Amino acid sequence: MDRRFAFAILLSFLVLMVFQVWLAPKHPQAPEPGAADSLAAAAAAADSDSARAAVAAAGEDRRPEARRTRPTEPMRMQSPALVSPVVQEETVTLGSTLFKATFTNRGGRLLRYELNTYDKPSGGPVQMVGSTPELGLTLETEQGLVPLDDVLFSTRQATVDGRRSVIFEAGMENGLRVEKIYRLPDDGYDIDLQVRIQGAGDVSDYLLTWRDGIPPSEGDHKQFRSGAGALALVGKDVTRKTPGSFKNEHEKTVEGNVQWAGVRTKYFMSAIVPPSGTSSRVVLTGSAEAHVNGVEVAMPILQGTADDTFLLYVGPLEYNRLKALGHGLENGVELSYKFIRPISKLLLVVMVWMHGFLPNYGIIIIVISALTKILFYPLTKSSIRSMKAMQRLQPEMQAIRDKYKSDPQRMQKETMELYKTHKVNPLGGCLPMILQMPVFFALYAVLANSITMRQSGFVWWITDLSIPDTVGMVGGFAIHVLPVIMFFTTVAQQKVTPVTDPRQKMMGYMMPVVMLFIFYSFPAGLNLYWTVNNVLTVAQQWNIHREPQAALPAAGKA
């Protein structure tokens, strides 16, 4: 390995470390999910004022601070006379094949939302709503923001457009009427929410809000923190904000054609999709201290009236499902940098396709590693040839260094002439590694962020390919086995790799240690991929070394 090769490897490791830090930012530990059940119980057991106090005590401390001027007195609303003159606080639960949703008539909001097909490592279904009910409405007036979260709506169930629906209605004596209609699917996670507002003469806009993020659903809080945030697709650009982005401010307003906005964790997302071309502003909110994010989608009220139907997606970050829904929702899946995303998408599609006939993702990773080595074999062969040729040129290169040690420019020129004469590419040795880096980054993104890998085991102790293969703890230090196996395979690879400069042997000894340090906290699937890659590299190099010496360019021959 010459100095250029060593520099390329060091640069690759630097990129890997920066990549890891960017994907897994370190934030304060996320709070545990709130007690939504206790809220409901408190609301049922107390009067209206005490219920509001319970909601405030459990939820307001997790929300960002008040950001815009709000009236001191909440808007007093009453149920329409055509429904009922007296409204009691109540909940409605509707289910589907994939989720169970519970709504409260206090604000006409979503109180609980459980996923039927996804469980937490500790047991029980994944919960998408925290301590604060979501999908509330806030009116924007000249006096400030008027939230409708404490309004008691009248409730009725019906079938609307062939879908089971829950309808919330409320009104004021001055003529303002608000109606929220949730239409649920029999299958899928797409919910239609129709918002109707009438008689809002002094209201310019209203906000549909999701303020309290998504509760943690993974056993490891680091997993939860690595993907938590608020995001919005405005025009063709995705704006992403993590809770840590809101250390000095509690909101970011993005203006333009709002396609959708939502909150996400590593594997799940709640997204609000307004009617096409209707929203020109979204507010991303957050709190670094409470580690929560929210979104507020602004909608216009024209001549005191609004009638908008939103698509709500509250469910897993399944790339194919989101892409089928349209609106660019698949951008919610984190698939690395923009120039890596096409490779990540291809890998994800191929892996899901292979899972149709190979039921174990560990086997699929091994197959992909083998296919990658076959694909890059011509480059690997050329690389080994180039390194061996460089190895044989060392005496002549040393002679040039000794002869022109006082003239660096002449030394460089003579060295390049030597390379040209013997048709040796000094960068040929590191070319395969450089070309494999995009595949490596893409596979990292798929393994670390794709929900298809969540809780997907392989063999024996490897029970989840998406996280490190922890077998125990010693003094608070996690013991991972696959990175250690990968370390020894890297040592074996270094043993069979030609060394073009004896002074670079130390680099060969350090590389396995550096790799162990970098890979130790990587997902088990990625360590499996790199371990198999090392084993196949050793086999390929052994086969190439068996070639007759005459097949290699000889020193002194053009």
Supply the pLDDT for residue 307: 93
> Which residue stretches of the chain have pLDDT < 70?
1-87, 219-226, 391, 423, 425-433, 497-508, 544-558
Here the tokens at position 250 are 């509690």
Identity at 139, one-letter amino acid code: L
- SS percent in the chain: helix, strand, coil, step 5: 40, 25, 35
pLDDT in tens, 111-160: 999 999 898 887 889 999 988 999 999 998 888 888 888 889 999 998 88
Contacts of 248 (CB under 8 A, 6+ apart): none
Supply the pLDDT for residue 431: 63
Task: Count the neighbouring beta carbons within 10 Å of the beta carbon of residue 357.
Answer: 7
The rounded distance, in Å, linking the Cα atoms of 158 and 183 is 9
Supply the pLDDT for residue 548: 60
The rounded distance, in Å, linking the Cα atoms of 83 and 91 is 17
Q: Helix/strand/coil (H, E, C) string of 374-434?
A: HHCHHHHHHHHHHHHHHHHCHHHHHHHHHHCCCCHHHHHHHHHHHHHHCCCCCCCCCHHHH
Question: Quick one: which of 242, 212, 288 has its CA closest to 60?
Answer: 212
Residue-wise over 465-478: b if at least 16 C-beta within 10 A, else e?
A: bbbbbeeeeeeeee
Here the tokens at position 195 are 């918002």
Residue 428 sits at φ, ψ, to 5 deg, of: -60, -30
Supply the pLDDT for residue 510: 78
For 36-321, which CATH class?
mainly beta
Supply the pLDDT for residue 501: 58
Q: Is the pTM higher than 0.75?
A: no
Residue 288 sits at φ, ψ, to 5 deg, of: -70, -35
Here the tokens at position 35 are 């007690």
Identity at 143, one-letter amino acid code: Q
The rounded distance, in Å, linking the Cα atoms of 247 and 290 is 11
Listed by start position, the domains of the chain span 3-25+349-548, 36-321
Here the tokens at position 372 are 């990658």
